[in-house]
Amino acid sequence: MDTRLARQFFSPRMLVAFLMGFACGMPLLLTSTVLQAWMTDQGVDLATIGFFSLVGLPYTLKFLWAPVFDRFTPPFLGRRRGWLLIIQLLLILALVGLGSTDPAQTPWLVALAAFFVTLFSASQDTVVDAYRREDLTDNQLGLGSSLYVNGYRLGMLLAGSGGLILADHVSFSHVYLLMAASLLLGAATTLLCREPPLTQGTPGTFKEAVVEPFVDYFSRDKALWLLLFILLYKIGDQMASTLTTPFYLSLGFSKSQIGAVAKLAGVSAAITGGLLGGVILLRIGIIRSLWLFGILQAAGILSFTALALIGNSLPGLTLAIVVEQLTSGMGTSAYVAYMASITNKRFTATQYALLSSCMGIPRVIIAAPAGILAEVAGWPLFFLGCALAAIPGLLMLPVISKQYQRDAQ
């Protein structure tokens, strides 16, 4: 790593991106995996637990209130840091409140507290995404986004795996209190980091904050192409990931083998891929990275095809997960950096919230038919189809590249 690259990698801005990612990733599993475990432990029926998935709606609908964060500026710390501190303190209080509930006696109160956790968590995501876009230059967005994603993964790992391990030794109420305390790191980061400059001003009215972000985005050339590209670029990777656990089980791997390899090798490979992708992004830029990582991402899916043909082989399972997670992590770093780069800094919170909501649409749509396709075609052909599904997104890159260059002028 040369001196210039090392300065970029270890700069305060990159540390802030990583720590903010950690703060955003931490709450996600506390209202899903960990909460489900707590409710199961308390004897709550499966039907009630299933309905609790609805508390995650704020993550999908966050663009509806994102204009508030663009339009109004708190009287302290500035537009981004002021909102971040308010939201982070409310999130900590919501987690403390959730930990104080009783799933067996008052499930409705648990649902209300969990809803507020996801509401403030989704709001934190929105403001952090806006902060990262406004604080980093286009050239720094790739590395900054990869560090953010890796911080996010570590936050999820600590809350999910760490929370469940802790629950074997202390009560779930204490687990939530400890997780709430860990979010003080995010609040400290907000207090110590700098406020991004307002290079393009702020919306003058609330109507302007609500309407103009959409008018601004859809008035640009190839706006629908850009949106279609965001929907398609990772669709093959998303198709493959929806059925990996049933695939591993069908090959005869035990749950312990799957858990150990997926958690240890998989998470390590994803983090390495994100960091490697960020470094390469600094070298070759966003568009060339989208080409390179998109091809590698599609090729990585074929490791599952190879595993399906090999059968029950623990080294084969490890290699398949490492290759797929490594290439997927690289693709995600370029994908997230590209989405951030095409937002207008005047409406960053709203536009990025809209684009990131669109990013999750393919995963929801393709989850149902993926199982049918796998049953009809068999695992080798299914994963081959997932790799081929990446081609439409790659074919759009010449148009995306030209528009990106025009917008940069």
Report the pLDDT value the prediction gives residue 90, as an integer from 0 to 100: 97
Provide the CATH number for the domain formed by 204-409 in this structure. Answer: 1.20.1250.20
Report the pLDDT value the prediction gives residue 124, as an integer from 0 to 100: 95
Question: Looking at the chain, which residues constitute the CATH 1.20.1250.20 domain(s)?
Answer: 1-199, 204-409
Sign for the CA dihedral angle at 48, 51, 56, 57 comes to negative
Percent of the chain with pLDDT over 70: 92
Report how far residue 373's alpha carbon sits from residue 381's, in angstroms, rounded to the nearest whole number. Answer: 9
How many residues are given for the chain? 409
Report the pLDDT value the prediction gives residue 407, as an integer from 0 to 100: 64
Q: What is the pLDDT of residues 83-111, one digit of tens each?
A: 999 999 999 999 999 999 988 888 889 88
Query: For residue 223, which amino acid is it?
Result: A
Helix (H, G, I), strand (E, B) or coil at 110: helix
> In the structure, what pLDDT confidence band is assigned to residue 6 with cuts at 50, 70 and 90?
low
Q: Indicate if the pLDDT at residue 190 is higher than 80.
A: yes
Report the pLDDT value the prediction gives residue 366, as an integer from 0 to 100: 63
Question: Structure pTM?
Answer: 0.77
Q: Indicate if the pLDDT at residue 275 is higher than 80.
A: yes
H helix intervals, 158-266? 163-166, 172-182, 184-192, 206-218, 223-232, 235-241, 244-250, 255-260
- What's the rounded mean pLDDT across residues 314-330? 90
- What's the rounded mean pLDDT across residues 359-372? 65
Report whether 141 contacts 337 (CB < 8 A): yes
Helix (H, G, I), strand (E, B) or coil at 146: helix
> In the structure, what pLDDT confidence band is assigned to residue 177 with cuts at 50, 70 and 90?
very high
Report whether 108 contacts 120 (CB < 8 A): no
Q: What is the pLDDT of residues 288-311, one digit of tens each?
A: 999 999 999 999 999 999 999 998
Report how far residue 334's alpha carbon sits from residue 351's, in angstroms, rounded to the nearest whole number. Answer: 18
Higher pLDDT, residue 23 or 32: 23
- What's the rounded mean pLDDT across residues 251-276? 79
Q: Indicate if the pLDDT at residue 72 is higher than 80.
A: yes
Tell me which residue of 106, 97, 100, 121 sits closest to 48, measured CA to CA. Answer: 106
Cβ-Cβ contacts under 8 Å for 186 (sequence gap 6 or more): 19, 20, 22, 23, 24, 26, 88, 124
Q: Indicate if the pLDDT at residue 201 is higher than 70.
A: no
Higher pLDDT, residue 102 or 50: 102
Angle among Cα 178, 195, 217 to the nearest 5 degrees reads 100
Report the pLDDT value the prediction gives residue 277, as an integer from 0 to 100: 85
Report whether 258 contacts 245 (CB < 8 A): yes
Report the pLDDT value the prediction gives residue 93, as an integer from 0 to 100: 96
Report how far residue 352's alpha carbon sits from residue 175's, in angstroms, rounded to the nearest whole number. Answer: 32
Report the pLDDT value the prediction gives residue 306, as an integer from 0 to 100: 93
> In the structure, what pLDDT confidence band is assigned to residue 337 with cuts at 50, 70 and 90?
confident
Report the pLDDT value the prediction gives residue 13, as an integer from 0 to 100: 87
Q: What is the pLDDT of residues 218-236, one digit of tens each?
A: 777 777 888 888 888 888 8
CATH superfamily of the domain spanning 1-199:
MFS general substrate transporter like domains (1.20.1250.20)
Residue with the two structure tokens 């995600």: 332
Higher pLDDT, residue 159 or 84: 84
Q: Indicate if the pLDDT at residue 252 is higher than 90.
A: no
Report the pLDDT value the prediction gives residue 50, as an integer from 0 to 100: 66
The overall average pLDDT reported for the chain is 84
Report how far residue 351's alpha carbon sits from residue 242's, in angstroms, rounded to the nearest whole number. Answer: 27
Cβ-Cβ contacts under 8 Å for 154 (sequence gap 6 or more): 21, 22, 25, 271
Helix (H, G, I), strand (E, B) or coil at 1: coil
- What's the rounded mean pLDDT across residues 180-190? 94
Report whether 297 contacts 260 (CB < 8 A): no
Quote the distance between the C-alpha of residue 397 and its chain's center. Answer: 22
